[in-house]
Chains A and B, each alone.
Chain A
């Protein structure tokens, strides 16, 4: 009798999966069905709490979940089938890995007895995804399933966030087992440090207070730590009076409208930000990782500064740039403690030195490095972004996603963000095709917000199929295409590095984006002249439907300022008027 009672409480693996997702607070799953995950899709059909968004290709599902995760701070959830379903997800998983986005990706797998048999739609998913996930699991027994489901969410969002894959053989999904809810038991091996060392924090405050030319360089860790970290960053910046610059990943972590903000730094960052990084005497790095797009030539990177590095991931410390004072911990906690110590010790940066530093920075600012040559007859891409920004300012909440390339950098330079979680872009991996599915994920999370994918005409085609998802769920995503007919950034590099030989960077056979939009039941608009731009943007914003606005921009515009690869922060180039041939050294040529 007891056995029968026990069996009665048992549910099948698919139901365990759904129950665990619900207990982990998952509201939406982005996915695509297939043979190996049919039991989960059956379980989804028989419940109403968990919403499933059907994408058009698994790669889109992962980027959509990334957009969802980065705009909400929650874990994004993906469901794909075995074999090609899982391999299509790989790019998105690596994208999430490099940009530290918390995801849980459930992959179907052939039944356990067929694993290793080259079965239909079999792939060694854990093998393939091992280097592009934070962790992955192959569930081999129904008893392990509830624990692994909960552990995956713990791993995805604790410490430095990242993607976690759970490979689910079909027989496990159909086997009966007991569900166990999440527990608060300490993980047996993975327990990242969140509180910073108090001695190191005191030393950091002392070092910063003695600076004459301080700079705060903040990265995506501030966003990942949560909105409180952004507030604390603002507080510390204002307490110290130091200038602050943000990485591509961190835009919005500090209000762009504030006077202490120098703009983005790095390869296409502002002159004032990069020069201040180069000339500073104390650098406080907050949740950033000295990426090669940030540092430029390493041996010339900020040569005279002492560097303090706050990071939750010890492997980020001293990876490429040796720092003087590392602080391991969550930036939110560490900033909070730093502010406490700063106040209690009544620390103050020498006013005279700081004033002198700011005067120097104002001189750099006066260069107005983001200016460009206006044109009355052709739409400059920078102008298009500026007008988009101006015309969306009245909107309550604006979320921007981008693809990858020149348009991405122009968006980062000319669109101003005052709040975190409003800017979704593929930074580390540089995944063309990220923006459209990411935008739909953002829109699913924020149905009433204005969500715009700033795109290039080449990138958008990489995941153009997601227009179908946008149409199916009536998501009012706006697609803002800067159409220059080239893979613009490739063409720019070919111009600067390869003697203007535009090898395969021009695409003929482009679709008519207006008709393409209409074929999906969406609205299509086009602007080809500066006089049409504002009206087209206004019409796009006024529509309740999803809109593609195709903007013909000047085809051979380059994105400046630029630190050529292999060059230092103080060796920026500003425009085509400077001699660009040979702007990049032989050493720089081999770099990407």
Chain B
């Protein structure tokens, strides 16, 4: 702790994007609790995914991407942690390296050169064709959000009509599991 006024204050106003992983009891209303916390306290949700991860223990993992100043992010984590059905909260953005993935289904309607070009771009991005008609494709693409954004941008002039994205799922790299999961 330094001597200056507020010198020990680690906070600055810059907003940052954080991916937060929350392990919760898979019980009715738990998602509403988490979402209600964000809306009630005015926090952002950029994306949110939820699914059961351990059936035997009835645990679900909620991955939420949010943004805020360091002080807000600390509040979000503390508020999440005090919800009764929350087992653990980890901030994948600051707690060491992590892997993030998102899946999108991208529908493109075109013909001729544009149709050929969409296919070749899909190839570059390693997107798969999961549905095809004479005038349309549905591509499945997996990657981080930036890659998906780039792919969708490129598809816009090539007849993009619809996108469905899963939102981000993430997990810490390395051998360590999240508390609450043996």
Q: Give the interface of A toward B (CB within 8 A).
A: 126-127, 130-131, 134-136, 138, 140, 155, 159-160, 188-190, 303-304, 306, 313-315, 317-319, 322, 324-325
Contact = CB atoms under 8 A, between A and B. Distances in A.
Interface string B153-171: 0000000000000000000
Contacts of B71: 318, 322
Interface stretch (B77-85, B111-119, B140-148): B77-85
A138 B84 contact: no
Contacts of B177: none
Nearest to A320: B71
Contacts of A134: 84
27 contacts: A127-B32, A130-B29, A130-B36, A131-B36, A131-B40, A135-B83, A138-B28, A140-B28, A160-B82, A188-B87, A189-B25, A189-B84, A189-B86, A189-B87, A303-B5, A306-B1, A306-B8, A313-B82, A314-B82, A315-B79, A315-B82, A317-B78, A318-B11, A318-B75, A319-B75, A322-B11, A325-B1
A288 B139 CA distance: 55
A39 B3 CA distance: 65
Q: Which of B8, B11, B180 has the most CB of A within 10 A?
A: B8
Given A127-B29, A317-B74, A318-B11, 11 more contacts: A138-B29, A140-B28, A155-B84, A189-B84, A189-B180, A304-B5, A306-B1, A318-B71, A318-B74, A322-B10, A324-B8
B6 A322 contact: yes
Contacts of A188: 25, 87
B82 A159 contact: yes
Contacts of B36: 130-131
Interface in B28-45: 28-29, 32-33, 36, 40
Interface of B: 1, 5-6, 8-11, 25, 28-29, 32-33, 36, 40, 71, 74-75, 78-79, 81-87, 180
Which one of A131, A314, A315 has the highest number of Cβ atoms from chain B below 10 Å of its Cβ?
Answer: A315
A130 B33 contact: yes
A325 B10 CA distance: 12
Contacts of A138: 28-29
A59 B130 CA distance: 58
A489 B79 CA distance: 33
Contacts of B10: 322
B177 to A, nearest CB: 16
A136 B32 CA distance: 12
Nearest to A319: B75
Contacts of B85: 189
A314 B29 contact: no
A303 B5 CA distance: 7
Of A155, A160, A188, A303, which is in contact with the most chain B CB atoms at under 10 Å from its CB? A188
B12 to A, nearest CB: 11
B181 to A, nearest CB: 12
A160 B85 CA distance: 16
B43 to A, nearest CB: 13
B75 A315 contact: yes
Contacts of B87: 188-189
Contacts of A189: 25, 84-87, 180
A453 to B, nearest CB: 32
B9 A322 contact: yes
A254 B87 CA distance: 37
A190 B84 contact: yes
Contacts of A135: 83-84
A404 B40 CA distance: 25
Contacts of A140: 28
Of listed B9, B74, B82, residue having the most chain A CB within 10 A = B82
A297 to B, nearest CB: 15
B5 to A, nearest CB: 6
Contacts of B84: 134-135, 155, 189-190
A192 to B, nearest CB: 8
Contacts of A159: 82
A317 B78 CA distance: 9
In this complex, the member of A134, A138, A322 whose beta carbon has the largest number of chain B beta carbons within 10 angstroms is: A322
Contacts of A314: 78, 81-82
Contacts of B1: 306, 324-325
Contacts of B40: 131
A573 B33 CA distance: 42
B86 to A, nearest CB: 6
